[in-house]
Amino acid sequence: MTLTEARDFLRAELLTVAAAAVPGFEGIVAHDVGPVDPGVMSDGSGPDTVCSITIENGNPSVVDPAGEVAAAVAALAARGWQTNVAPVENGHHRATAQYNGFQVTVHGWDDDWRLTLSGETPSIPE
Amino acid sequence: MSEDLDALLLRLRDLPDDRAVAEADAFFRSLPVEQAIALAESRPEQVGPLEGAPPELRYRANHLILVAAQQRLHALVENRQATLAQRRRLVTLNEMLEPAGKRLDADADGNRVEVDVPRQFLLVDPEGQGRMIEVQGDLRTAKNIAVLVPGMNNDLERVRAQSVRAKEIGEEAGRGTATIVWLGYHAPLGLTQGRSTESARAAAPLLCRFQEGLATVRSPGAKVTLIGNSYGAQVVTRAMMQGARAHRYLLTGSPGVDPSVTSAAQLTPPGTEFFAVARSRGDYVSYAEQHGPDPASFADAVRIETDNEQVQITGHMAYFAKNSESMKNVGRIVRGELGAVTLAARTTPAEETRMLGMSWAGPLRTLGQSPVVVPISKAFDGLAMLRTVASTPSRKTVLDGTPRSRQQEGPER
């Protein structure tokens, strides 16, 4: 799999899961800037080997982070992702998922109608 | 008005940071809005980097600096007069003029809307190595603000990757967070420069003044977390020793602090709410202690956990790895949930690097401080330079990525 293919796969997965998590609404691509160096904070000389994508979804009239995170986790699991739901921390609902080196984080917040799904491809040198 | 600005800049030069930013703040508050905008647009080079000036004006001024630099480089590339470095820089400037992304919001009637997120720069220096300070989020209303100081080999060409890292920290910390990538210094380029503390010493007063400026624009209850990673940790500790103002501090993968510092208490400015460090297993940079003692070894340091069941990180490069415990802890610290921060066992470098009954941390420290590492560093730097030249995009690719008639309005006050 090339990095471009991995990026396309991740975006499609996140959009599908985002739609499953919020009934009646499609997610939007909030961030998807292309290949970046994952170690840039430590040393900017490394190659751009990963893509990071963020999808947002939500219904402004419904604040249900627990239900939406649970639905996202169920959708990820049904698609073969290995999921993990963290205990709620002061209103932060957080779940993670892994699949063949891909990483996804699902964030929901008690005071926010928006659900964030953020994913990263495995490191693939171009 | 322009003369007043010149007089102000002259006066600020020698003032202490707190008074300088207060004067700049007062100066712009005294101007009618239209005049302030006109000043930012007519004197972007002066207003763009000015600590204490309203961020909205600085965003506008720095946008204009970017547009001017982009147009200059575009002409050079088009006329086949651009160097490889200028070609690379044009690609970077094009990216810096693109929106940061989109976000969901609700309009006055409660309907869902998609909103473009503009790029916001508090500093743009497009010349040479380049410097920049990028803000994600709203500095005026944020409850929590994270300032990230990256390490070595970070020039303007790395702005995209830095922005992604800041975005991810913002996601971990939640809504109401603003993140700032502070590449307001010339990070060392190459191992040879990285062995010196010269860049950090030059950066510290700039970071101190930036932190003071931040205090004038943030909401009174907002909390600021200053995060230094790798060489950026050296920058942050030097700034802390000069009183850099923040509520919380986090150092990850530190190459060591000034040799005169032997405890966390000695490092933290008065009023510090939280100070923590991270050292993952096998972090060769922290073990080498090239710049002084590793703060993760201080008896009074709070050392955060970096690993969890899903993601185990080793070495120096992965403190911000997705879903790692260190990344989760960064989010907890930035949003002020300090009781939820997970702590690491107080292991020593010798315990963390034991292989076949022997530790490699001690020999690494000896090697890192030995003169033999100098020629090795130079050879490594030469190879890295060749790689950069080989990855320069073609002239056609660069020109194709530069729209000629784009509406470049940028953020407005």
Average pLDDT of every residue of chain B: 90
In chain A, the residue whose alpha carbon lies closest to the alpha carbon of B113 is A60
**Which stretch of A43-52, B195-204, B227-236 has the lowest confidence by average pLDDT?**
A43-52
Of B95, B102, B317, the CB nearest to A43: B317
Residue B381: is its pLDDT beyond 80? no
A9: part of which helix (H) or strand (E)?
A: helix A3-21
Count of domains forming chain B: 2
**Interface-testing mutation among A7, A43, A116, with chain B (most B C-beta atoms within 10 A):** A43
Neighbours of B225 (CB within 10 A): 26
Domain co-membership, B24 together with B162: no
Q: Where are the domains of chain A?
A: 3-39+48-116
CATH number of the structural domain spanning residue B320: 3.40.50.1820
Q: Are residues B157 and B93 in the same domain?
A: no
Question: Range of B93's domain?
Answer: 1-98
Segment B74-87, tens digit of pLDDT:
999 999 999 999 99
Q: Which residues on chain A are in Cβ contact (under 8 Å) with B112?
A: 25, 58-60
Q: Does residue B361 lie in a domain region?
A: yes
Chain A: closest CA distance from residue B290 (Å): 15
Nearest to B110 among A45, A60, A92 (CB): A60
DSSP assignment string, B348-395? -HHHHTEETTEESHHHHHHHHTSTTHHHHHHHHHHHHHHHHHHTPPPH
Same domain flag for B256 and B308: yes
| B235 pLDDT higher than 50 | yes
**Statement: residue B241 has pLDDT above 70:** yes
The most confident of the ranges A31-45, B321-335, B344-358 is: B321-335
pLDDT band, very low/low/confident/very high, at B373 (cuts 50, 70, 90): low
Q: Is the pLDDT of residue B298 over 60?
A: yes
Domain check: are B153 and B199 in the same one? Answer: yes
Residues in chain B with CB shorter than 8 Å from the CB of A42 are 150-151, 229-230, 253, 285, 316-317, 319
> Between chain A and chain B, how many beta carbons pairs sit less than 8 Å apart?
135
B207 by Cβ neighbours in 10 Å (0-12 / 13-18 / 19+) ranks as: buried
Contact A25, A83 (CB under 8 A): no
Q: Is residue B232 part of a domain?
A: yes
Query: Do both B241 and B363 map to the same domain?
Result: yes
**Rounded mean pLDDT of B269-287?**
92
Domain assignment of residue B113, yes or no:
no
User: What mean pLDDT comes out for the span B348-368?
Assistant: 74
Burial of A123 (0-12, 13-18, 19+ CB in 10 A): middle
**Is B332's CB within 8 Å of A112's CB?**
no
Give residue B384's pLDDT.
Answer: 59
- Give B151's contacts in chain A (Cβ within 8 Å): 41-44
In a domain, B122, yes or no: no
Q: Which of B155, B163, B172 sits opposite A44 (nearest CB)?
A: B155
Nearest of A27, A46, A32 to residue A4 by alpha carbon: A32
Q: Which residues of B touch A90 (CB under 8 A)?
A: 337, 340
Please, are residues B210 and B243 in contact by the beta-carbon 8 Å criterion? no
Same-domain status, B153 and B31: no
Shared domain check, B316 and B187: yes
Residue B314 has a pLDDT of 87
- The type of residue at B187 is A
Of A30, A38, A92, the CB nearest to B102: A30
Q: Tell me: do B223 and B352 sit in the same domain.
A: yes
- pTM score of the predicted model: 0.91
Residue B118 lies in a domain: no
DSSP A121: P
Q: Which residues of A touch B328 (CB under 8 A)?
A: 94
Q: Is residue B115 in a domain?
A: no
Domain contains B110? no
- Nearest Cβ partner of A44 from B153, B285, B340? B153
pLDDT value at position B407?
45
Residue B391 pLDDT grade (very low, low, confident, very high; cuts 50, 70, 90): low
C-alpha span between B243 and B239 (Å, rounded): 6
**Rg for chain A, CA atoms, rounded:** 15
Instruction: Measure A30 CA to nearest chain B CA, in Å.
Output: 4
d(CA B149, CA B170): 15
pLDDT at B377 over 80: no
In a domain, B124, yes or no: no
- ipTM for this prediction: 0.95
Confidence of residue B387 (pLDDT cuts 50, 70, 90): low
